[in-house]
Structure formats: C-alpha cells, structure tokens
Amino acid sequence: MKRLVAIALVLAPGAAYAQVPPSWQGSSQPPAPAPAPAQTAAPADEAIPSPPPPVQTVQPVPPSAEGRGEQAPRDATPQKTKSSTSMSLRLDGGYSIHQLFGLGIHGADVGVGFGAHPSESFGIWIAPRFTIGSTPNGLTVWDGSLGAEFEGVVDRFHVGAGPNLFVIGVHRAVEADTIHSFGVGVLLNVRFDVVKDDDFALFLRLAGDADYAFAGGAGFYGATLGAGVSFDFGSSKSK
C-alpha cells in the first residue's frame, strides 16, 4: 500500500504537466492573449469624378483661293430691280400736221407727261399738250389739250392711247379777235427708246389724234413726229 501511494505521488506531477497546454510549458507566466485582428478604417467617400468635357470637332477649313494661287472672285456689281410702283416724267416735242375745215395747219407740238407704272409692262399718264401752227393763208391756230393715256410697254416699245379734252383757237386775219371752241378727242402714240437706262430714256415719238369741236361741228385731226426724254423716279433698288 505504501508503495502504491509513493508511485502515485511520483506520477502526479508528470500527469499534471502533461495536461498543461504546450504554450505554457517551460514558462511560469500564462500566455498572452492573441491580439485582436486590426480593424481597417472604412475608406472615406471618394469624390465622384466629373464627366469629361465634350469633344469639340474641328471642321477642316478649305484652303482659300489665294492659298491655291487662284484669284479670289470679286463681288458682283449689285443689280437693280424695279420696285412695285414708279413715277415718271416725260418731255417731248415735234413737228405736227393737222387739218381744220379742210385747211392744212403746220406747226409745232410740245407736251409733258406725268406717269405711274404699277408694273414694268403697264403705265398710266396724265399728259397736257400744246400745238401751235398756221394755215397757208396765214391764220394762226393753236390747240391745248389735257388727256389720259394708258400705255403698254414691250421692251423698248411703248404704245399708248386715251381720251382728251381740248380747247382750240383760230385767230382771224380780218378782225383782231380769236374764235374759240372746245371739244373731245382721242390720242394714239407710239414711242421707241433709242437710248435706255434704268432711270432715263431718250425716245422717238409718232402720234395721231382726232378731235371734235362742238362749236361749228369741225373736226381737228392730224399727226406729230418728234422726240423726247423720260425720267423714272423710285423705279430701281439694289439687290
């Protein structure tokens, strides 16, 4: 019995040593606790990158005419076009031959015209005229008229016609007085522009008229050949 107790006492320290964890064996201090895993700090909110700037496309610039050794085109001369309505002034004169009571009257005929052109092919004129001449017997005859003309235009040709009112006077040779009469008539004239510009024209004119005098029922008719000039106002604009 004493032997068994002695053996137990001998073996007890070894069994206790065997139950100690290996980290404690050979050390009088218990092992330090394992360090806790380091906590990494949460990354700060990263800034949202701004969108990239839009890509600007560069259009290729064609080489200039001077760079290619060519002569750059010059600006074209501005052209003129007719406006919707223009005003015109006309002056003319010529040699006239008329008949009154079967007597020939040779003299001069002059006139002025004030016209409006709603289009390039149509015009309306107010045309006062004055004619003075004499018969072979030396009687002086004069005629003043105020007429309206409706005119068509084709290129350089102008054809107009219209009614007129007139006053006629015949100076008698025996007595120092003048016989007057008045009446109505019609006028037809043709003009051709010999020289023509945008605002100016030099023309030839051939006209014929037939009038009826109420006093005595006499007819006064004839023709005139002459020339004149016309001016347009406000008829052109630069494009």
Query: In this structure, is residue 15 part of a structural domain?
Result: no
Among the residue ranges 2-11, 77-86, 107-116, 170-179, the one predicted with the least confidence is 2-11
Total length of the chain? 239
Query: In this structure, is residue 34 part of a structural domain?
Result: no
Cα distance between residue 226 and residue 14, in whole Å: 161
- 100 — pLDDT class (breaks 50, 70, 90): confident
- 38 — pLDDT class (breaks 50, 70, 90): low
Q: What element of type H or E holds 94?
A: strand 86-100
Cα distance between residue 66 and residue 12, in whole Å: 116
For the stretch 42-84, pLDDT in tens is 455 555 666 666 666 656 656 554 555 555 555 555 555 545 7
- Contacts (Cβ under 8 Å, ≥6 apart) of 116: 85, 86, 87, 88, 123, 124
Q: What domain range includes position 116? A: 84-232
Mean pLDDT of all residues in the chain? 78
Query: In this structure, is residue 147 part of a structural domain?
Result: yes
Query: In this structure, is residue 68 part of a structural domain?
Result: no
Query: In this structure, is residue 74 part of a structural domain?
Result: no
Query: In this structure, is residue 8 part of a structural domain?
Result: no
For the stretch 118-138, pLDDT in tens is 988 999 999 999 999 998 888
For the stretch 176-201, pLDDT in tens is 778 888 999 999 999 999 999 888 99
CATH (domain of 210): 2.40.160.20
Among the residue ranges 103-107, 167-171, 232-236, the one predicted with the least confidence is 232-236
Q: What's the number of domains the chain is made of?
A: 1
Single pTM value for the model: 0.61
Query: In this structure, is residue 95 part of a structural domain?
Result: yes
Query: In this structure, is residue 25 part of a structural domain?
Result: no
C-beta neighbour count of 156 within 10 angstroms = 13
